[in-house]
Amino acid sequence: MLTIEKINELIDVEESFHASYKLTEILKDKNDRELLFRKFLEIETDFSFDWFTEYFQAEHSDRKGKKQDFTPDGIIQVASGVLDQTSSNADICAGTGGLTIKRYSENKDASFYCEEFSDRAMPFLLFNLAIRNVDAIVCHGDSLTREFKAIYQLSKSSEFSEIKIINELPNIKNQTVIMNPPYSMPWDAKKERLEEDRFKRYEVLAPKSKSDYAFLLQGLHSLEENGTMSIILPHGVLFRGSSEEKIRRKLIEFNYLDAVIGLPAKAFIATDIPTVLLVFKKNRVNQDILFIDASKECIKRGSNNVLEGKHVDRILEIFKNRSDQDRFSKKISLSEIQENEFNLNIPRYIDTFEPEEVIPLGDILNEMKEIDIQIRANELSLAGMLSDLVSKSSAGQKEIDDMAAYFYSKNGVFPKKKAARGEQLSLL
């Protein structure tokens, strides 16, 4: 099992924060990296998931500074499941490759394109792709400014991918794009960017304080003309105003948005915020948008909510059939969305209110009677305890006796005589 300790042992570091630097050096030498690959394969041979998600989340991610959250497996399955099996896939903000690995597991002969900003994540991403022997282009740098530190070409060979650095970024469009970008991160939204093809049609830029729509439009720009994209974002993209509203309006008018899937809160390791999965299709035929409220499709595990297989299956079945299901999913016409001023907030379209069960009046009356009996018993018990109390002053004793007499008389019980101190009180 690839524990944190075992991964550090294989990479030959004592502390996890050294792993990225050491792994970068190992990957530069073909013999060294293939030796390391074989050591890992002696322990783990299941290529269907990212071995480093929990390791990297615990040891290297920066939620506060870089908004890094690594995608939980259940959400990965949904994000990939809404996409067709295709021969080319892009993962913008790839992290260590969890989303790409899911796409790989569904078509091992596909080609892949990844972008990742983090210096620490990059060697793990290259490792994950090369050990799986894939064809890929991996860009190390900023997806929004398009400034890259290095561009790697991975080429499939007999056992593991060859890795080399190339000088120019190929002009690549992909049949599918899958994304979990950093949420609401500031970015360099200078006016000149409006002249770029990826932003020009939308006439405004995402606000400087929130890059969500900038990442979204970069993903769309990476799609082929018949491509499909799934992207995980915070709920704010559904209803925030100003420039984000203008971009959202354009996306709907261009008929790109295919589905809005609300996901559970507390599904990620390092953030409690609820997220939404948006599905976009170019050259779309449908004239409606499918809304799914999957916010309750989870189980509680520790402090997190987890989507299990049954939850994933339900979401994907509804998505693929585009079916309406009471309090869960509904197809909404573009005209209705326009009437709602292009606000995509899910509760506007799916009513999840469940009325409480009507309790028979007889049951309510019986419960009230039982409560009354219990109140009477408690008050008589209190009166009895008060009767046993003795005050040092006559005024204090009178207060105690008066309170005891009140509870006795309220419940129709009257002392036969005034009890002397220390004498048992007899009741009628």
Residues 343 and 370 in one domain: no
Q: What is the mean pLDDT of residues 162-168?
A: 95
Distance separating alpha carbons of residues 56 and 240, to the nearest angstrom? 32
Burial zone of 310 (CB within 10 Å; 0-12 exposed, 13-18 middle, 19+ buried): exposed
Q: What is the mean pLDDT of residues 46-56?
A: 88
pLDDT at 417: 53
- Residues 251-299: tens digit of each pLDDT: 999 999 999 999 998 888 767 788 999 999 998 999 999 999 998 988 8
Q: Is the pLDDT of residue 142 over 60?
A: yes
CATH code for the domain of 164: 3.40.50.150
Q: Distance between alpha carbon 278 and the CA centroid of its chain, in Å?
A: 12
Decide if 134 is inside a domain: yes
What residues pair up with 217 in beta bridges, in sequence order? none
Residues 343 and 391 in one domain: no
Residues 318 and 382 in one domain: no
Structural domain ending residue among the three candidates 304, 323, 348: 348
Decide if 6 is inside a domain: no
Residues 371 and 238 in one domain: no
Residues 278 and 395 in one domain: no
Distances in whole angstroms, Cα of residue 283 to Cα of each of 98, 117, 194, 259, 300: 28, 31, 23, 14, 39
Decide if 218 is inside a domain: yes
Decide if 88 is inside a domain: yes
Give how many domains the chain has, as a whole number. 2
Residues 243 and 379 in one domain: no
Residues 140 and 161 in one domain: yes
Structural domain ending residue among the three candidates 348, 373, 399: 348
Residues 70 and 218 in one domain: yes
- Residues 287-309: tens digit of each pLDDT: 999 999 998 988 888 888 889 99
Residues 177 and 263 in one domain: yes
Decide if 32 is inside a domain: no
Burial zone of 237 (CB within 10 Å; 0-12 exposed, 13-18 middle, 19+ buried): buried
Q: Is the pLDDT of residue 354 over 60?
A: yes
- Residues 82-110: tens digit of each pLDDT: 999 899 999 999 999 999 999 999 999 99
Structural domain ending residue among the three candidates 322, 348, 374: 348
Residues 237 and 374 in one domain: no
Distance separating alpha carbons of residues 21 and 330, to the nearest angstrom? 49
Distance separating alpha carbons of residues 169 and 147, to the nearest angstrom? 11
Decide if 405 is inside a domain: yes
Q: What is the pTM assigned to this prediction?
A: 0.80
Distance separating alpha carbons of residues 26 and 61, to the nearest angstrom? 21
Residues 376 and 243 in one domain: no
Q: Is the pLDDT of residue 345 over 80?
A: yes
Place of tokens 């890259």: 148
Q: Distance between alpha carbon 151 and the CA centroid of its chain, in Å?
A: 30
* ∠ Cα 86 87 93 (to 5°): 85
Distance separating alpha carbons of residues 229 and 86, to the nearest angstrom? 12
Residues 178 and 280 in one domain: yes
Decide if 30 is inside a domain: no
Half-sphere exposure of residue 97, counting CA atoms within 13 Å on the CB side? 30
**Nearest Cα to Cα of residue 97 among 159, 55, 147, 37:** 55
Domain hosting residue 75, numbered range = 52-348
Decide if 420 is inside a domain: no
Considering only residues 86 and 71, tell me which one the structure prediction assigns the higher pLDDT: 86
What residues pair up with 330 in beta bridges, in sequence order? 291
pLDDT at 174: 96
List, in sequence order, every beta strand (DSSP E) within 61-173: 88-92, 111-116, 135-142, 147-155, 162-166
